[in-house]
């Protein structure tokens, strides 16, 4: 019964660790998949917390009196992990496409979400290191091969005691397990940091392009609106001094006059983002309010 409980806890913790590492690869999961994966991991975290609720209550009551130093360390790290998951969940909801808030300080919330995720991953690595014996022993019990029973007529074998360097074996097991966990965590952290740099560059370029687009447009509007009254007055005075002709004047076609504003509008067309993202997942700020299948940041203003 206890073995089944340990195996269940191992599988929950393994799915939590692997799923949490996948959260650092948004280009693979996509924004929608990243959000649903976060919700699923939050549910598994609550299940893990509920399965260890008796231990949490016991250490909480005896934290300052009666609990040993080892359990206090475990409790402190678990408390920081819960706090980190709360910050990740709240910041993730603020910048999520589900809530779709218009945030002026989007990068601040994004950085808080990313760096709290990195800090929480570091705490998870420390937690795995503190429980490494349980992880190794439970893993060997789950995936270890069972020995076939010896035949009944087999002669008795006298066991020979062979000295085993248990410290060396434990050291190798610890280094192997922590090596795999550390390398996976470092790859995930480097990937999310590189994505964050790309997002910052795209956002800064988008803001700069928006500022450059609005400034010339306002200046052009002022320059074109000012001289309209003077030519109109000159034309009116000229028409008043000359006699009105009897023949009807041929008015110019407005096609040539209308072509200039059209060319000017095409020339002033700017893009807030030159990524041209046609589907969600390549960029964290992908939005499609007009449902045309293209990111709104890459459409002409």
- Indicate if the pLDDT at residue 24 is higher than 80: yes
pLDDT at 15 over 90: yes
pLDDT tens digits for range 85-126: 999 999 999 999 888 888 888 889 999 999 999 999 999 999
* Helix 26-51 and helix 166-225, axial crossing angle in degrees, nearest 10: 130
Provide, rounded to the nearest whole percent, the portion of the chain with pLDDT above 90: 39
- The beta-strand segments (E) located in the chain are none
What confidence score (pLDDT) does residue 239 get?
A: 47
pLDDT the model gives residue 277: 57
Out of 58-67, 105-114, 146-155, 225-234, pick the least confident.
Answer: 225-234
The answer to whether 300 and 271 have CB atoms below 8 angstroms apart is yes
Give the Cα separation of 66 and 72 in Å (integer): 10
CB 5 within 8 A of CB 34: no
Q: What is the average per-residue pLDDT within 191-200? A: 84
Can you give the pLDDT at residue 157? 61
Q: How far apart (Å, rounded) are the C-alpha atoms in residues 6 and 12?
A: 10
pLDDT computed for residue 164 by the predictor = 56
**In contact, 102 and 144? CB cutoff 8 Å:** no
Q: Would you give the distance in Å from CA 278 to the centre of its chain?
A: 19
CA 5 to chain centre: 33
Cα–Cα distance measured from residue 199 to residue 212, given in angstroms and rounded to the nearest whole number: 20
Q: Give CA–CA dist 280/276, Å, rounded.
A: 11
Hey, CA dihedral for 124, 130, 131, 136, is it positive or negative? positive
Q: What is the mean pLDDT of residues 160-187?
A: 81
The least confident of 63-77, 197-211, 252-266, 269-283 is: 252-266
Res 232 pLDDT > 70: no
Confidence of residue 12 (pLDDT cuts 50, 70, 90): very high
- Nearest to 96, CA basis, from 15, 27, 88, 190: 88
- State percent of the chain over pLDDT 70: 64
Q: How confident is the model at residue 240 (pLDDT cuts 50, 70, 90)?
A: very low
């Amino acid at each position: 019964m206890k073995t089944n409980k340990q195996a269940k806890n191992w599988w929950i913790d393994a799915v939590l660790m692997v799923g949490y590492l996948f959260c650092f690869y948004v280009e693979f999961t996509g924004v929608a998949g990243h959000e649903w994966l976060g919700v699923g991991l939050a549910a598994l975290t609550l299940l893990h917390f509920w399965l260890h609720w008796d231990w949490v209550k016991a250490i909480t009551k005896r934290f300052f009196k009666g609990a040993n130093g080892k359990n206090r360390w475990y409790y402190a790290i678990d408390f920081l992990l819960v706090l980190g998951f709360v910050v990740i969940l709240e910041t993730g909801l603020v910048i999520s496409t589900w809530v779709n808030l218009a945030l002026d300080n989007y990068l601040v919330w994004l950085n808080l979400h990313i760096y709290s995720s990195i800090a929480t991953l570091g705490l998870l690595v420390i937690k795995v290191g503190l429980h490494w014996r349980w992880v190794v022993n439970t893993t060997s019990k789950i995936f270890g091969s069972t020995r076939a029973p010896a035949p009944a007529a087999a002669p008795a074998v006298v066991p020979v005691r062979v000295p085993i360097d248990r410290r060396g074996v434990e050291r190798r097991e610890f280094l192997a397990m922590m090596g795999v966990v550390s390398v996976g965590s470092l790859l995930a952290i480097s990937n999310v940091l590189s994505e964050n740099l790309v997002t910052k560059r795209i956002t800064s370029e988008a803001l700069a392009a928006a500022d450059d687009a609005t400034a010339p447009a306002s200046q052009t509007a002022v320059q074109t609106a000012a001289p309209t009254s003077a030519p109109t007055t000159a034309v009116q005075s000229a028409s008043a001094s000359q006699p009105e002709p009897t023949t009807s004047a041929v008015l110019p076609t407005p096609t040539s006059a209308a072509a200039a504003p059209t060319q000017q509008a095409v020339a002033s067309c700017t893009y807030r983002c030159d990524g041209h993202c046609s589907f969600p997942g390549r960029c964290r700020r992908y939005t499609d309010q007009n449902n045309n299948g293209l990111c709104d940041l890459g459409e002409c203003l």
